[in-house]
Amino acid sequence: MSSQHRSVTIIGTGPAGLTAALYTGRANLSPLVVEGIEKGGQLMLTTTVENYPGFRDGIMGPDLMEDMRNQAERFGATFVQGDVSSLDLTQRPFRITVGKTPYTSDTLILATGASAKWLDLGVDKQLSGRGVSTCATCDGFFFKGLDVAIIGGGDTAMEEAIYLSKLCSTVTVIHRRDTLRASKVMQDKAKSTPNIKWIWNTAVVDIKDVTKGEVTGLVLKNLESGEIGELPIAGVFIAIGHIPNTTLLTGQLTLDENGYIVTYGGTRTNVPGVFAAGDVQDHVYRQAVTAAGTGCMAAIDAERFLSGVPHETPTVAATAQV
Ligand code: NDP
């Protein structure tokens, strides 16, 4: 088995990981980039991206990711395909195993992202980018003046409903219970918005119309009466939460109560030499451009660390979540 050493290893190839690869590549650090199963991140599931600066007419999500990858490769980033099977942050250099191949690295940039939860209907993923979305800020504009629905009862659902209410004709929030999980302030704001409507105690059991390749309506089931009904709509936003991809980090690094990596003053984690960028450490903004921004920050932070700038650890004792 071969062992390879790098000064920088980046895990994840969404906008955060690829921007970190570009910057560390241009800094002559020859980064190793681990490209996992969900290569390219969430933008691979999107069609047109209209809010990434620099593309007046928009760009397809997968094309943007391919361009970012090629740009990083041009500056010396090398890519290895496979999932990280183990990670040891207890000693430096850090140990990373990709599949069965071991690597060591002086610094690590974690950019593994977060995955949006889906409804497990199958059809929701099939119609992703064709009327089904997990990001109102990204895709709301495509539904200007139309009727849309949001699934979920948390803060994200409220925030997205309020955002969409300014663009769409009506927004129907469909929630599986009769009480919202969202904070009171967000609930109040959503409930006082005239074009936000509510359907309670209801689950989505089907999304029409996969044969047409677009969303035309939802099949709904009232969870109390069992009654089935249809709601014609042009788009549906699934806002039932995200799962940060941090399984391998549990117990090795400080995570918050939802499993996101905690960063301090930029992209530093509580482990010196380990930096985090993008959605794996951000459950608030979650945009391609903010992920790219933190990827750039992580690259600069790693470069500084390698040149001897101390990695200040948090003053409050960090307790890793187990
Ligand atoms: P949450 O986990 O808070 O809420 C998820 C919602 O989706 C819940 O209402 C849940 O229902 C529902 N849900 C979950 N699974 C399913 C399913 N399979 N079918 C139907 N409905 C389902 O996630 P959020 O993304 O809303 O928020 C995550 C965190 O981020 C929270 O801590 C939140 O406060 C925070 N946040 C804060 C914001 C702000 O302050 N501006 C904005 C956005 C998020 P049920 O309630 O029945 O469990």
pLDDT band at 51 (very low <50, low <70, confident <90, very high): confident
Reported as a single tens digit per residue, the pLDDT across 78-133 is 999 999 999 999 999 999 999 999 999 999 999 999 988 999 898 998 999 899 99
Domains and CATH numbers, the chain: 4-115+242-306 (3.50.50.60), 118-238 (3.50.50.60)
Report how far residue 165's alpha carbon sits from residue 171's, in angstroms, rounded to the nearest whole number: 6
Beta strand spans in the chain (E): 4-11, 32-35, 48-49, 59-60, 78-81, 84-88, 94-98, 101-110, 114-116, 132-133, 147-151, 170-174, 196-199, 202-208, 217-222, 228-232, 235-238, 242-244, 274-276
pLDDT (tens digit, 9 = 90+) per residue, 266-313?
A: 999 999 999 999 999 998 898 899 999 999 999 999 999 999 988 876
Q: 235 CA distance to ligand 1 centroid (A)? A: 19
Query: Which helix (DSSP H) or strand (DSSP E) does residue 291 occupy?
Result: helix 288-306
The predicted pLDDT at position 320 comes to: 43
At 35 the pLDDT is 94
The predicted model scores a pTM of 0.80
Indicate if ligand 1 lies below 6 Å from the C-beta of 199.
no
User: What is the set of active-site residues?
Assistant: 135, 138-139
Question: What's residue 230's pLDDT?
Answer: 97
Closest-CA residue, ligand 1 atom 15, reads 240
Nearest CA to ligand 1 atom 33: 155
Q: 154 C-alpha vs ligand 1 centroid, how far in Å?
A: 3
- Residue range 215-241, pLDDT digits in tens: 999 999 999 999 999 999 999 999 999
pLDDT at 322 over 50: no
Asked whether residue 317 carries a pLDDT value surpassing 60, the answer given is no
Residue 256: other Cβ atoms inside 10 A:
13
Task: Give residue 9's pLDDT band: very low, low, confident or very high (50, 70, 90).
Answer: very high
